Structures are given as C-alpha cells and as structure tokens.
C-alpha cells in the first residue's frame, strides 16, 4: 500500500503501519514527555503496550491516562489534566475511538487554562477566552472509522451536573499531526464497525445538506459518502480487509472536515439520548437518519438527488435514497426504531426534546425547528413511523 502525507485540514500521515512513525511525530512537535490518552479497554491491549514500549525505547518519558468512558465526561478531562500536570507532560497522544480522541484533545487544551471547561462551550466567541499560548500540541491516532475527531476543532464532553453534552471549541483543538493507520482498526467488531461507519455517513450527509456556501465541504462530503457506500459493508463483513479499513478511516476524517459547514437534527436528536440514555452515538445517528431526512425533504430534495447521482444509485430520487438508507441499515443489522434500544419508561421525551432544540447542531439544520418538531421526530423514531 502506498504512503502519503496529507496537509488538509492538518498534517496527516496515512498508510498501513504508520503507527511506527509515532516517535517521529513527537519529535517533529518537540514532545519529549507525551501523555497517551485512551480508554481502559485499549490500554490493556498488546497494541497499546507495544506503542508504549517503543516510545520508551526511543527515549520518550511516556505517561498514560485510560479512564475515558464511552460518553466522555468533564471528570475524565479533569483527571487527565491532573496526570498531565503531575507528570510534567508536554504534549498529548489522543488514541482510540471518538471518546479517547475527544478527551485527549480536551486535556491538551485544558492543561494550561484557569477557567472551567464549560466556559469554552461553542457559543459565540467563548473560544477567545482561552490562553492561546498554554494549549499543548496534539497527535491524534484514531482506532475507529466514525467520529473523525482527529480532524475536528472541538470535543463533545458530558457535563455530569446538567446531564447535557457540550461542544467545547477552539481552533487549536485541531491536532497538529494525525496518523491514519488501518492496521489499528483490524480488531474492531462488526457491530462497532457498522455503528461508527453510520456515524461517518451522518457527518458527510448532514454537512452536504447544511445550508450555506461551502463548495469544498460539499465536495469532500460527496466523496466521503461514495467511499462509505463502496467500503462500509466490506469492512463489516471482512474486518481484515485492509483496503476497506483504510477507505473507511479516510471517509470518517472527511466527514469531520466537511462538517465545519454544519450538521443538523440527526445530531441534535442523538446528543441527548447519548447523554441521558448512554446510547452509542453512531447507533443513534443511524436510527434517526431517515426520520430527519424525511422531515427536511422539502428543502433538501435537490441535494439528495445530487447524492443519488454521485453514488450512481439505480433510482435517483428522494424516496430511493431513503430506501438506500433503510436497506443499508438492514444489511448492517441495525434497528429501525429507537424503542429497540431504549425502554419507553426510560424515555423522557419532554426533557430530551428541549435538549435537542438547544443543541448547537440544530442551528444548521436545513429547516428551522421547534420543540414540537423535536418531540414529533422522537415519537416517530420510537414508533418506526416515517412521515
């Protein structure tokens, strides 16, 4: 497999076994004492143990923080910062799925700040409050092909006091070097491969449908969707297919690059159930996708037809695209209804609907939304009724 160095939106080292270049990435950023941030499951794997040993043999003083949970919390970030400062670290290696990457980026950001992390929520110009010179360098190494957090300028962190997932933003959240190594994703189970792949699809899809003029984001999103259409099922059916893994990693990074244009109600509806009901983000995005698309139909139909043409679907219409989504989910053995993963008695629709309306992704949904719209979408996703 050929190796490439990409520089959009940041420096990206791409190819099989590029993890061997992690030490070189540290040296390039003048990191001598990195903190590797990951989750407890990955921390115990031979893959991570090998990485730590190699870095130590290359002369690096390496620390590790591995208490990251599936829907990462402010406590995760606080504890990571404590270890970072106690061990006098000078850079972060964010390693893992979206959770590990988001916490790692937030630790690097918060390591030198005096304000609370919630003061930097992605609202207005909150990011300008940060001490720009106290943000540590970040190397991102994704082990799943979904969130694309490695090319994002934000982290999604759960505020345990409010029960709300907050988007924390700063331009320097963007890692300085990203290593995309498909070999690191080989052991990913089919269900997680499917869910993270649908997350990547949601990012590319909502970015393309978001209002506004951003041809670069649109072009990236279209190609990202084409790659997912071509490679997701192959990656799920044969997890050792290195070409499928590489293409899915790339499509995930493309989704995050594209959604600087905006997201939409798929994510607005997802974030509350991720926070309150602890549902996997990619899974909830997959469930909400056809309901939100149908709700937005009258303002996105032309764009959806463009997607159909680019994907070379046999029938190029809005309804055909909805059918493509439904069939893809079915082939991936994913549920059609939210009630398949959340019990009705655990579903506080009033609270969730208000949280969804207040979510930052709502502002870039193609149609303006009310709390009743959110409630209706939740009701339909629970019952399985498309509009």
SS3 of residue 130 by DSSP: coil
Give the residue from 205, 206, 254 showing the smallest Cα distance to 359: 206
How far is it, in rounded angstroms, from Cα 222 to Cα 353? 30
How far is it, in rounded angstroms, from Cα 44 to Cα 65? 12
How far is it, in rounded angstroms, from Cα 247 to Cα 172? 26
- Across the chain, mean pLDDT equals 96
Class of domain 4-184: alpha beta
How far is it, in rounded angstroms, from Cα 279 to Cα 165? 13
Q: How far is CA 85 from CA 88, 110, 365, in A?
A: 5, 10, 40
pLDDT value at position 3?
86
Give the residue from 302, 224, 307, 212 showing the smallest Cα distance to 260: 212
Summarize pLDDT for 188-234 with one digit per residue, the tens: 999 999 999 999 999 999 999 999 899 999 999 999 999 999 999 99
Task: Tell me phi and psi for residue 220, to 5 degrees.
Answer: -65, -45
Summarize pLDDT for 272-319 with one digit per residue, the tens: 999 999 999 999 999 999 999 999 999 999 999 999 999 999 999 999
pLDDT grade, residue 382 (50/70/90)? very high
Q: Are 309 and 318 in contact (CB under 8 A)?
A: no
Structure token digits, residue 240: 């050792």
Summarize pLDDT for 16-52 with one digit per residue, the tens: 999 999 999 999 999 999 999 999 999 999 999 999 9
Chain-centroid distance, C-alpha 322: 23
| Residue 118: count of CB within 10 angstroms of its CB | 15
DSSP 8-state symbol, 177: E
How far is it, in rounded angstroms, from Cα 252 to Cα 234? 15
DSSP labels, 189-221: -HHHHHHHHHHHHHHHHHHHHSSS--HHHHHHH
Structure token digits, residue 4: 């490439």
Residue ranges of domains in the chain: 4-184, 188-383
Q: What is the largest CA-CA distance in the chain?
A: 60
Summarize pLDDT for 252-262 with one digit per residue, the tens: 999 999 999 99
Reduce the secondary structure of 61-123 to three states and give it as a string: CCEEEEEECCCCEHHHHHHHHHHHHHCCCCEEEEEECHHHHHHHHHHHHHCCCCCCHHHHECC
Summarize pLDDT for 131-177 with one digit per residue, the tens: 999 999 999 999 999 999 999 999 999 999 999 899 999 999 999 99
DSSP 8-state symbol, 246: H
Class of domain 188-383: mainly alpha
The rounded percent of the chain whose pLDDT value lies above 70 is 100
DSSP labels, 340-362: GTS-GGG--HHHHHHHHHHSGGG
At which residue do the structure tokens 């069939």 appear? 327
Kindly report the pTM of this predicted structure: 0.94
pLDDT value at position 1?
78
pLDDT value at position 194?
98
pLDDT value at position 243?
97
pLDDT value at position 8?
78
| Residue 254: count of CB within 10 angstroms of its CB | 26
Q: Are 282 and 195 in contact (CB under 8 A)?
A: yes
How far is it, in rounded angstroms, from Cα 99 to Cα 65? 13
DSSP labels, 260-297: TS---HHHHHHHHHHHHH---HHHHHHHHHHHHHHHTH
How far is it, in rounded angstroms, from Cα 223 to Cα 208? 11
Structure token digits, residue 98: 């979206």
What sign results for the dihedral spanned by CA atoms 289, 141, 261, 356?
Answer: positive
How far is it, in rounded angstroms, from Cα 336 to Cα 173? 35
Instruction: Convert 235-252 to b/e letters by CB count within 10 Å (16 or more is b).
Output: bbeebebbebbbbbbbbb
**Average pLDDT in the 180-195 region?**
96
How far is it, in rounded angstroms, from Cα 343 to Cα 207? 31
Q: Are 194 and 231 in contact (CB under 8 A)?
A: no
pLDDT value at position 387?
74
């Amino acid at each position: 497999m050929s190796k490439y160095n990409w520089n959009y939106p940041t420096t990206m080292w791409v190819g099989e076994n590029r993890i061997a270049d992690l030490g070189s990435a540290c040296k390039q950023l003048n990191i001598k004492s990195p903190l590797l941030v990951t989750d407890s499951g990955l921390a115990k794997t031979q893959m991570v143990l090998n990485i730590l040993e190699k870095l130590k043999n290359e002369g690096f003083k390496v620390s590790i923080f591995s208490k990251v949970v599936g829907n990462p919390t402010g406590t995760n970030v606080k504890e990571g910062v404590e270890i970072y400062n106690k061990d006098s670290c000078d850079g972060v290696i964010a390693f893992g799925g979206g959770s590990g990457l988001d916490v790692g980026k937030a630790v690097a950001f918060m390591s030198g700040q005096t304000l609370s992390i919630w003061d930097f929520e992605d609202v207005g110009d909150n990011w300008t409050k940060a001490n720009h010179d106290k943000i540590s360098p970040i190397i991102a190494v994704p082990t799943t092909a979904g969130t694309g957090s490695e090319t994002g300028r934000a982290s999604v962190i759960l505020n345990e006091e409010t029960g709300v997932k907050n988007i924390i933003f700063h331009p320097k959240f963007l890692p300085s070097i990203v290593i995309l190594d498909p070999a690191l994703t080989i052991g990913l189970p089919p269900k997680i491969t499917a869910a993270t792949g649908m997350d990547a699809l949601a990012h590319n899809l909502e970015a393309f449908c978001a209002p506004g003029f951003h041809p670069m984001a649109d072009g990236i999103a279209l190609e990202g969707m084409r790659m997912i259409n071509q490679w997701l099922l192959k990656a799920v059916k044969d997890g050792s297919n290195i070409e499928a893994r590489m293409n899915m990693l790339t499509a995930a990074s493309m989704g995050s690059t594209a959604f600087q244009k905006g997201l939409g109600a798929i994510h607005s509806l997802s974030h509350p159930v991720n926070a309150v009901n602890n549902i996997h983000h990619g899974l909830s995005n997959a469930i909400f996708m056809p309901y939100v698309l149908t709700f937005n139909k009258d303002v996105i139909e032309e764009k959806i037809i463009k997607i159909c043409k680019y994907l070379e679907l046999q029938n190029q219409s809005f309804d055909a695209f909805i059918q493509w989504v439904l069939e893809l989910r079915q082939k991936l053995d994913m549920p059609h209804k939210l009630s398949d993963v959340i019990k009705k008695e655990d579903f506080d629709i009033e609270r969730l609907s208000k949280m969804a309306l207040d979510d930052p992704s709502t502002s870039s949904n193609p149609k303006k939304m009310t709390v009743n719209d959110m409630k209706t979408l939740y009701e339909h996703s629970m019952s399985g009724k498309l509009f």
